[in-house]
Chains A and B, each alone.
Chain A
Amino acid sequence: MNKLGIIIKREYLTRVKKKSFLIITFLGPIFFVALMIAPTLLALNSDKMESKKAIAVLDETGWFYKKFDNTEANTFVYHNPEENLDSLKKLVFERVYDAILYIPGTSLNIPVNAKLFSNKQISMTLSSYIENTMKKEVEHKKLLASGIDPDIVKSATTNINVSTIRMDSDDKEETRYTELESIIGILLAFIIYFSIFLFSSQVLRSVIVEKTNRIVEVIISSVKPFELMMGKIIGNAMVGLTQFVAWIILTLAIYFVASGIILGPEMMSPTGTVMSQEISKLTETTARQDIMLEAINMVQSINFSAILWSFLFYFLFGFLLYAALFAAIGGMVDNETDSTQFTTVLTIPLILAIACSPAMMENPESGLTLWLSMIPFTSPIAMMIRIPFGIPYWQLGVSVTILILTFVLTTWLAAKIYRTGILMYGKKPTLKEIWKWLKY
């Protein structure tokens, strides 16, 4: 094994064998699975979890008698409007009712306010159901009073759906699903952002540890400083990739196992996923069939392999670029506290790219987006936001080329700072000195 290989192996193994790495590797997928399963689980269990609610209705206007539907979740009991509100309130504390819906009479005779009294938190679903029912009823009454048949208005109500379709010069037309694309983009951008931070800091720490332990001079009497630096960077990049692969595999594994156990076998459709079960439920009505088709179209419209490959590329080279800079900083300073001011300056472009992400999602074709996706210090993040929306190949090519060239240049410069810096103990160099190191 050559020396670079020996260094990579040590960097990789010391990081991977650490407890913190194992914990993050295993907790990550559990967290992801929780995010995936929780909504389904909550939706399935919400009915079971909430006991049936009894609601007393004290309607001084008299407009809403028998207008609220009794369901599995709620029962509405209509009281005489003459009754005293306070005596009804007592019934809540005696647990006869869960809530009192009080609709006071108004001088205008058009009810616009209602109060829901309860000694517990009222669910959003219930209060919005009440709001909607009252709104419909008042509108209905108003229409009648104006001499308009509410049925005519109902038949005139139409749902409009605007599909975004992008045309290519070769007559291919594609329907775009902006929301989904935005979500995928921002999610990947955040993963890149955090990974670059996390793994570059590991490189920084690794450099500083060798300096503070005073072992670095022994090592560079055996290998070139450049090999040592590259060994660290490559080793940590491999740790990062290992983590991603482990996350993907574990997430899928835990997801299937957990959805089998938690959601029960009856929820598992022949294909074994809850999602398809949900979809097959949706197909029960023809109206919902459209939604399902839409969902399938949505998923198919996303070019996952392009996203995955570009994600891996931009993670790798974004990391390599920043890791080289962090390694140079590690060489310059004596402890992590001193490194903060330098790393803060370096990470401004990353933070800027994240801060601009809403604007980029709003308009993926804007000049801002274009520039941020070309500048190598922001492109790993900006491209993650752009790529799900589709991107001209030449732009991708230019961005990739700039990133690779900058990486080569930066590593060359970083190595010069690193090789001088690692042998300087006990003093913080000035910028002038660092400039000199570049020329040694």
Chain B
Amino acid sequence: MVNLIEINNVSKTYGNYKALNNISIKVPKQSIYGLLGPNGAGKTTLIRMLNQITAPDEGEIIFNGEKLNRDHISDIGYLPEERGLYKAMKVGEQAIYLAQLKGVSKKEAEKRLKQWFHKFGITDWWNKKVEELSKGMQQKIQFIVTVIHNPQLLIFDEPFSGFDPINVNLLKKEILELRDKGATIIFSTHNMASVEELCDNIMLINKGEKILEGSVYQVKQDFKDNNFEVVLRQQTTDNGQHPLNLPEGFSIISEKNNINGETTFIISADKNINPNILINHLTEFGTIVSYHELLPSINDIFINKVNS
């Protein structure tokens, strides 16, 4: 099996409201999959289906080659967007309880928790009540109980919302580490920077419909405008600067003189034209300080697609 999750033609309707319409996705094993979409797009509905909190009206979900069923509960770790802990309960006791609900024996849960608490340097919190901990501290506990049963699939719904920057970094590091150890991760987020940083694949969903899907690289390639940014130190002649003229198929979008005598050009190229022609041409006008292709950010693509 290449894919851990295969969602085939899934639809869900609440009354007259179509939350998901004929959605199909494939999540490769040991990858990080980003679920993007504005509020109310259907991300949480999809995630709740994977957690078997709700069931699809139509379509099916395949987990590791089998139809998703209650046995898979212990293979999935879920950190919901609306998350919390029992305030009046002690940290250790609570973590054991939540691990037991995921099918880990009490003894094993205790052993694993001690390791995690040690890793995060929080062993002295074991007998504290959750309400005595700061929000950042509670977030660490929430993360630990999400992964305590070593699930194959981890689902994080808006994992970075409400986390402070230090915990965000910790979480990112742990997510990557878990992926490297073999876990598959699905996360939904509005934080586009983290999507580019972490995700291998993404899906954009809006109003219950899939808008686009693919690897982050491919999506960017598909949506690029063929623009290049060039910084040039031009040769000066007696008549001042030699004006830049471009070969056929290229045109200057903008031009900016930098204080150090260099000029930054944004140049657009026609599709299917080899950018090397441009480089060869530019060398005649001066020294190329830098040259790179401008790719759209996932943020731009997101806004662009949702608005259209």
Contact = CB atoms under 8 A, between A and B. Distances in A.
Interface of A: 1, 3, 6-7, 10, 14, 209-210, 213-215, 217-223, 225, 423, 425, 436, 440
Nearest to B157: A217
B14 to A, nearest CB: 7
B63 to A, nearest CB: 14
Nearest to B102: A222
Nearest to A1: B100
B53 A218 contact: no
A209 B86 contact: yes
B204 to A, nearest CB: 24
A215 B84 contact: yes
Contact of B78 (A6, A14, A221): A221
B71 interface: no
Given A213-B86, A221-B80, A436 B15 contact: yes
A103 B98 CA distance: 82
A7 B98 CA distance: 10
Contacts of A14: 88-89
Given A10-B97, A222-B102, 16 more contacts: A3-B100, A14-B88, A213-B85, A213-B87, A214-B84, A217-B53, A217-B83, A218-B79, A218-B83, A218-B146, A221-B51, A221-B73, A222-B98, A225-B53, A423-B48, A425-B82
Among A1, A213, A423, A436: residue with most chain B CB under 10 A:
A213
Given A221-B73, A221-B78, A221-B80, A215 B101 contact: no
Given A6-B97, A10-B97, A223-B101, A215 B53 contact: no
B88 to A, nearest CB: 8
A425 B84 CA distance: 13
Interface in B53-111: 53, 73, 76, 78-80, 82-89, 97-98, 100-102
Contacts of A425: 82
B145 interface: yes
B101 A222 contact: yes
Contacts of A423: 48, 53
Closest 8 CB pairs of A and B: A214-B84, A222-B101, A217-B80, A221-B51, A221-B78, A213-B84, A214-B82, A215-B84
Nearest to A209: B86
Interface size bracket, B side: 20 to 34
Interface in B9-33: 14-15
A3 B103 CA distance: 8
A221 B155 CA distance: 11
Among B15, B52, B87, B101: residue with most chain A CB under 10 A:
B101
B257 to A, nearest CB: 54
Contacts of B80: 214, 217-218, 221
Contacts of A1: 100
B82 A217 contact: yes
Among A7, A218, A219: residue with most chain B CB under 10 A:
A218
Contacts of B53: 217, 220-221, 225, 423
Interface of B: 14-15, 48, 51-53, 73, 76, 78-80, 82-89, 97-98, 100-102, 142, 145-146
A224 to B, nearest CB: 8
Contact of B73 (A213, A217, A222): A222
**A contact patch SS:** helix
B76 A215 contact: no
B78 A218 contact: yes
Contacts of A218: 78-80, 83, 98, 142, 145-146
A438 B87 CA distance: 31
Nearest to A439: B15
Contacts of B89: 14
A6 B100 contact: yes
A215 B73 contact: no
A10 B86 CA distance: 12
B193 to A, nearest CB: 26
Contact of B83 (A214, A225, A436, A440): A214
Nearest to A214: B84
Contacts of B78: 217-218, 221
Contacts of B15: 436
Nearest to B89: A14
A3 B100 CA distance: 8
Contacts of A217: 53, 78, 80, 82-83
A210 B15 CA distance: 27
Contacts of B87: 213
Nearest to B146: A218
Nearest to B55: A440
B82 A219 contact: no
A7 B100 CA distance: 10
30 contacts: A3-B101, A6-B100, A6-B101, A7-B101, A10-B97, A209-B86, A210-B86, A213-B84, A213-B85, A214-B80, A214-B84, A215-B83, A215-B84, A215-B85, A217-B78, A217-B82, A218-B79, A218-B142, A218-B145, A219-B98, A219-B101, A220-B53, A221-B51, A221-B73, A221-B78, A221-B80, A222-B101, A223-B101, A423-B48, A436-B14
A316 B79 CA distance: 37
A212 B64 CA distance: 35
A249 to B, nearest CB: 29
A78 to B, nearest CB: 73
A335 B87 CA distance: 16
A223 B79 CA distance: 15
A415 to B, nearest CB: 14
Among B73, B76, B100, B145: residue with most chain A CB under 10 A:
B100
A7 B88 CA distance: 16
Nearest to B70: A224
A32 to B, nearest CB: 30
Among A214, A217, A225, A436: residue with most chain B CB under 10 A:
A217
A161 B85 CA distance: 67
B121 to A, nearest CB: 24
A223 B83 CA distance: 16
